[in-house]
Amino acid sequence: MPTKNSLAFLLLLSFLIQILFSIYYSSEIINQNSNYLILQEKVDSLEIERQTLQAKLATETSLEKLSQYLQGKNYQPIWQQIDLNQP
């Protein structure tokens, strides 16, 4: 009789372990998947951002932009601001 009970207990225990393991493992899969999706979106977004920043940098350092800045600044040659007669 005690052997029968032990066997039933073991069966029940292993069944329970299996259920717990499945719950843990499936939640782990879901977590990993959602992490993967988030990271994948981040990678895509960073790549787009990289391209956008590269384009912005190129525009800001373009000759057209530089000439606009220069026109706006009204640079004067330095010799016009220095009195060369002063010691």
User: Site residues (CB under 8 A) for another protein?
Assistant: 29, 32-33, 36-37, 40, 48, 51-52, 54-55, 58-59, 61-64
Contact 65, 59 (CB under 8 A): yes
Closer CB to another protein, residue 20 or residue 60?
A: 60
Q: What is the DSSP letter of 79?
A: G
- Neighbouring C-beta atoms of residue 77, cutoff 10 Å: 7
Give the distance between the most distant pair of CA atoms in the chain: 120
Closer CB to another protein, residue 13 or residue 47?
A: 47
User: Minimal distance in Å, beta carbon 84 to another protein?
Assistant: 25
